[in-house]
Structure 1
């Protein structure tokens, strides 16, 4: 081939590099260039590097860079730019500055733009500030692109004071500069300042871009500011009716987070080709708004189309939806799909599977999923801790927390709260005190969630003074801490103090929730404050807080203990939970036994036997009711039914901490290793009691062991 023809062909092939986006095509073109060109100029190398970076193959781009006999500024900038845009490779962009100096290549504005972007992405403030110094020294201070990059770097590193100073120094502030400032404010939770900057941007005459509106929708979503979100939506329609996909996705997310499902689905229906982000947003949005069935329907619709395919975030959202519905069969099917698609080792999906199985009362499957995940993080461990706590297995919850700290050597506020909750349920004070020490060591002692759990743990473990001390140390306690104190006083029989806290809750501007009212009703029930209980019952309903089954149970208990059995029966009958929650009837029947009320008791006994015909507790309670009335024929009938159903009441349990171990005792248990020593101690105590209060029947006491 003549030299001129070879040069023309090579030039045409090199120019072709700028339009290639497929890695396979890029390698084919590279091979063709190798067959034609006897020698390769820096121009050819630079185009090949740019081509490979455009195709996403940084490895091939680095190989080309390493093979270059002489590297130019363009070569360095092409590779730096590619590395700085990839989060996992930003450190390589920063490393290239050393090689650049070794090759005596002087950086320009594009170089600093890439390096500052890399520093911002890694949040390396020190490197970024050193680069800023070099920018000033080498005279790039008036370069708008470099100024914007410095601005972005300081914003990403959380140095908002420096970013504000840089922004003031920029002469002509374009949309990119304004966007960079707004991103910095939003990223550092200065959302209201971000709104203010947007207003300043509009007043300065700069037209907001689609990216600007996407950020503002994100801000409205985080604040759940529905009114501002609608205003921004109106501005988008007026100024730019052809919204791009990222803007539509941000709008979709805003409406879902603000609870406007109708507008959200309207936006989704207008998206011509929704991507996976769109589908994930709409599925997650339904889940957040408590519509699990709709989330599952949307997932089924997604599977029917060929593109896009569900990813780990899609599966995590829809699995959470099945947990919300307590639909274990759906969850198991999704688990199979997750395994087939290869996401079973995903930490994100694994965490939602563990949560789903726990919520469906299947701890064995949850434990298997947990064991199959090799790289466990604190979030997954926390899900295990909370799952065991929900299953009333405090021992496993505490053991999981202990194992988590041994493996991860860390804990967060959620895991600490979960472990403290397990200690509270078990009344294991020593364990709780150790976790309290760990919370102080890790700096979480002032965290509201941890503080509320500490108050609850100390109160339930019998140390009210410690609970009061923790509460007093809080400068501005949240509602959970107030609720914990109400519960603590009620638990210790100080109902009057518990009720006084209600006024303080209102004075501090908190809105009582279901837990607040439940704690107050429980305190009224134990203290016998009937009128106060009725006041809180009415107050709860008037403030839009719907009573649950536990609220009804407390109120029925309060009225029954006061002898107001007619009112209690009326409340049971009007309760929406009377058919599915036999505990209400049992509470009323227990008071009928105490007050020997045959008229109400017979009716209630028949009802709860119909609702809970195989419950041992129900049969025992009904039998006791008839025995109190002297109806021995009915007592015998109840006992025959109990024997016929082979019902056996679970023995009562008690436990105590001894030398860092929990010892559990039950009625009739002869398996304790220290049973002989325990009997000897009982004999000693009996002799002491004889001296004080007279004779005691030791056989009765020993028979309870």
Structure 2
């Protein structure tokens, strides 16, 4: 029997050793078990221990645990072998149960379970087990420290890691290279780079693992230059450069390129590493090849990445994804799609990463339809993926689609983050959807994101744009930290709602708080100056614009032109326009429209024709501006010519505004036959502005017949609007048809339509004062306290709502 037991022990040992690092044959394990049972040795603890180990290595953990439970007298080795089998199978619950029921636990038992738990989805549990081990009086070994420090790094438990470090010093294991590397990894993963550097500098002989961990930590913290220098030091010091180190430094080079710093040096080093890879024969390694591709792709050298791809002996889905993403990053949308098709033809099925990368590529190319198609192929989109598509819709001004997609996201129980809320608030702001904005505000409070500066800025913008300026102010004053964006949102909100005094006051406070105005700040302030028709304040803002270096910013420049134009100072507007080095279509449009609105129609046409000789192409707004100039200056023939050229020469379909301007030009010129022809063919017959313009022209030229037609349309479309009643009555009165005029006034009264009171305002150095009809005293409007005005200017403007001014 003893000889048979020895023979079986030798067989089991041979099966275990024969694996050579590979999984032993399950058939051999079962055959050995059968021989053991047939020989009546099922109670032999030594043989069963070896069998448990063999079953575990063979990938049969259930058989291993069954053999363990069949043991009448298990010893410590039996328990440890069973625990190892459970851990190898990923059954941590069974491993912990075995550990808990073990009569004489030792450091091997604890280390086995702690190591498995530290590598699981709940690495933090390893820390609790480590504390329990310490309470039992067991001293940690270098294996214990390695597992526990790995868990500390995984859950960013820096304080626990430091305590482990102190204990390692106490028990004399701080010089163990295994522990040193574990400590280095823990500090880098916890973001404590200073501690990691001190640890690394104190190491007697760092190896390739030490260098790789330190390079990864430096790159992760943004110290890419230091990571690259460390690799150079590693190469000079004679430490073996392995595949992991090469992949790590390539990752640092990629990060340098993506971060837009040390780019030239990073590419140069990346190329030298590429040469070293070829020299050392690392090119056949898939992970190294992918890292090299990623480095070139991040450095915007996609053609080089493709060369690496084509030289690789084998590729994976990761390789294809890097190539597809690389083309997307450089804006080659068509090439990215081509790579995607080629990938599928090569037998690789796209995964969620592929579609997510293509989604970002489509959004960058402003192709939201293709982006949505990619999104719909992702089985379980992450919140980041949702945000990418939401941002794409919002960027394309498809705000209703953005909101509908957000609702779908909620139905699928995907919790929004700060980016989601900011994007949705932006859409609510653009649509003026206050109710949904309030719901998003409530959601931000529930998610504890309402104090996040990114979300708070969105809330301020939404409330101010929706007319709830007081709520926006409340949120603004509750913010503990403010950036220039939230100041701009408040100033813009005040300007939009003509709260010009408040806008100036906030602009002053913004500067006093050390915030430097941006282009948005100045554009809003110019808007307020334009609304106040205040040249002195506008000039002071203009001076500040020049001082801060924004005078050549096209966004600010367009606002300055608009301000001077609305203040009636076309000479200054043109002077600034001519001084602009770079002009966009907005600047041209503002200048042309300024001429048109101030009665300089010939100059508007002249500037428009000059623009056509430049590289700038007119858009819909340009034609509205030049047609307005034609109508205000009696250039009816020019208006017809420009209108007809829109679609034929520039592919622009006329909108209702273009028809309105053309009808106004023809009506002012008393060419009513042509007006009727235009109205007959236009698709906007239910737009009230068209009929109001026609009715106003009929008043001027006493055309009662066509005026009656226009008024009837307005009575149907907008029965509560007093303008058509007043204007039709004026036509009758001018023709001596006082009975018809009285009938219209009676109809107006019977329908409960009330005409607004006329008013005037006076603008002088102490502010603006408005006077309503029959008022004895005026009311201050929009008086600003920000700027002193030494000019004694006074401007009177009268508005009478009996007359409708169009165009």
Alignment correspondent of 2:644: 538
Compared CA separation, residues 105 and 343, structure 1 to 2 (3 A): same
Q: Which residue of 2 aligns with 1:559?
A: 666
Matching of residue 46 in structure 1 with residue 141 in structure 2: no
CA offsets, 1:362-391, max 9 Å, x none?
Answer: 545544554554433322333333334443
Q: Residue in 2 aligned with 1:475?
A: 581
Q: CA deviation at 1:456?
A: 2.4
Partner of 1:301: 408
Q: For residues 10-25 of structure 1, what are the structure 2 equivalents within 5 Å?
A: 10-25=110-125
Deviations 1:326-378 (A, max 9, x none): 54444444443443343333333344444444555554554455455443332
- Aligned equivalent of 2:263: 160
1:663 match: secondary structure: strand
Q: Hey, what does 2:520 align to over in structure 1? A: 414
Aligned residue among 654, 664, 678 for 2:769: 664
Q: Does 1:271 align with 2:386?
A: no
Match of 2:297 in 1: 182
Where structure 1 has 5 or more consecutive residues not aligned to the other structure, the ranges are 186-193, 675-705
Deviation of 1:494 after TM superposition, in Å, equals 3.8
Q: Does 1:510 align with 2:625?
A: no
Mapped contact 1:123–1:157 kept (Cα < 8 A): no
Q: What residue is the counterpart of 2:272 in the other structure?
A: 169
Aligned position for 1:381:
487
- The answer (yes or no) to whether the contact 2:729–2:745 under 8 Å persists in 1 is yes
Work out whether residues 471 and 481 of structure 1, in 8 Å CA contact, stay in contact via their aligned partners in 2.
yes
Give me the whole-angstrom Cα distance separating, in 2, the residues matched to 1:76 and 1:655.
80
Taking the aligned partners of 2:684 and 2:465, their CA distance within structure 1 comes to: 21
Q: 1:703 corresponds to which residue?
A: none
Residues 1:607 and 2:713 aligned together: yes
Query: Do the aligned partners of 2:495 and 2:503 also contact (CA within 8 Å) in 1?
Result: yes
Alignment of 1:451-466 (within 5 A): 451-466=557-572
Q: Is the alpha carbon distance of 1:430 and 1:601 closer, same or farther for their aligned partners in structure 2, counting shifts above 3 Å?
A: same
Shift of 1:516: 1.6
| Alignment match, 1:621 | 727
Contact persistence 1:627–1:635 (CA under 8 A): yes
Give the distance between the partners of 2:329 and 2:528, measured in 1 at CA: 32
TM-score by length of 1: 0.81
Please name the residue that 2:10 is paired with.
Answer: none
Q: Deviations over 1:44-66 (max 9, x none)?
A: 22321111212343443344334
State the 1:640 CA deviation.
4.2
Alignment partner, residue 681 of structure 1? none
Structure 1 residues 422 and 569: CA distance shift in structure 2, 3 A: farther
In the alignment, which of 153, 157, 164 is matched to residue 64 of structure 1? 164
Cα shift at 1:443: 3.4
CA 1:567–1:115 in 2, change beyond 3 Å: closer, same or farther?
farther
Inter-partner Cα distance in structure 1 for 2:557 and 2:329 = 25
Match of 2:133? 33
Deviations 1:561-620 (A, max 9, x none): 1112233344445544442x4232222111111111111111112222332322233433
SS of the residue 1:666 aligns to: strand
Aligned to 2:27: none
Which residues of structure 2 form unaligned runs of 5+? Answer: 1-74, 78-103, 279-288, 781-807
Give the secondary structure class of the aligned counterpart of 2:139.
coil
Deviations 1:181-216 (A, max 9, x none): 32244xxxxxxxx44444444455587765665566
Q: State the alpha-carbon separation in 2 of the partners of residues 478 and 288 from structure 1.
A: 20
| 1:401-428 deviation digits (Å, cap 9, x = unpaired) | 3333333512322232232233233332
Within-5 A mapping of 1:141-540 = 144-145=246-247, 147-148=249-250, 151-152=253-254, 154-155=256-257, 156-170=259-273, 171=275, 172=277, 174-185=289-300, 194-202=301-309, 204-205=311-312, 225-239=332-346, 241-258=348-365, 260=367, 263-289=370-396, 291-306=398-413, 308-323=414-429, 325-358=431-464, 360-407=466-513, 409-540=515-646
C-alpha distance in 1 between matches for 2:439 and 2:205: 60
Which has the larger share of helix?
Answer: 1
The CA RMSD measured in Å over matched residues stands at 3.8
CA deviation map 1:1-41 (0-9, x unaligned): 99996243244244335423315522332223213453334
Q: Is the 8 A contact 2:599 2:633 kept in 1?
A: yes
Report SS of the residue matched to 2:741. Answer: helix
CA distance change for structure 1 residues 294 and 480 in 2, over 3 Å: closer, same or farther?
A: closer
* Partners of 1:79 and 1:501 in 2: CA distance: 71
Distance 1:83 1:94 in 2: 9
Give the secondary structure class of the aligned counterpart of 2:138. Answer: coil
Change (3 A) 1:126 1:445: farther
In the alignment, the residues of structure 2 paired with residue 404 and residue 126 of structure 1 have an alpha-carbon distance, to the nearest angstrom, of: 37
User: Are the equivalent residues in 1 in contact too, given 2:601–2:633 (CA < 8 A)?
Assistant: yes
* 8 A contact 1:612–1:618 mirrored in 2: no
Please tell me whether the aligned partners of residues 489 and 495 of structure 1 are also in contact (alpha carbons under 8 angstroms). yes
Pair 161,505 (structure 1): closer, same or farther in 2 beyond 3 Å:
farther
Which range moves more in the overlay, 73-82 or 403-412? Answer: 73-82
CA contact (8 A) 2:722 2:753 kept: no
Q: By how many angstroms is 1:530 displaced?
A: 1.9
Per mean C-alpha deviation after superposition, the further-off stretch among 141-150 and 487-496 is 141-150
Secondary structure in structure 1 of the residue aligned to 2:513: helix
CA positional deviation for 1:234: 1.2
**Pair 387,345 (structure 1): closer, same or farther in 2 beyond 3 Å:** same
* Post-superposition CA distance 1:448-469 (Å, at most 9, x none): 2122222322333344444334
Contact 2:538 2:563 in 1 (8 A): yes
Offset of 1:251 from its aligned partner? 1.5
Distance in 1 (alpha carbons) for counterparts of 2:129 and 2:484: 48
Describe the shift of the 1:223–1:134 C-alpha distance in structure 2 as closer, same or farther (beyond 3 A). closer
Number of equivalences: 658
Q: Tell me the alpha carbon deviations over residues 466-503 of structure 1, each in whole angstroms, 9 at most, x when there is no partner.
A: 43343334333222222233234334544344334334
State the secondary structure of the residue aligned to 1:270.
coil
Report if the CA contact (8 A) 2:211-2:234 is conserved: yes
Partner of 2:3: none
SS at 2:639 equivalent: helix
Note the alpha carbon deviations across 1:269-317, whole angstroms, 9 max, x for none: 33222222233334444444555444444433333334x3233333334
1:269–1:124: structure 2 CA closer, same or farther, 3 Å change rule?
A: closer
Q: What is the rounded CA distance, in whole Å, between the counterparts of 2:111 and 2:221 in structure 1?
A: 39
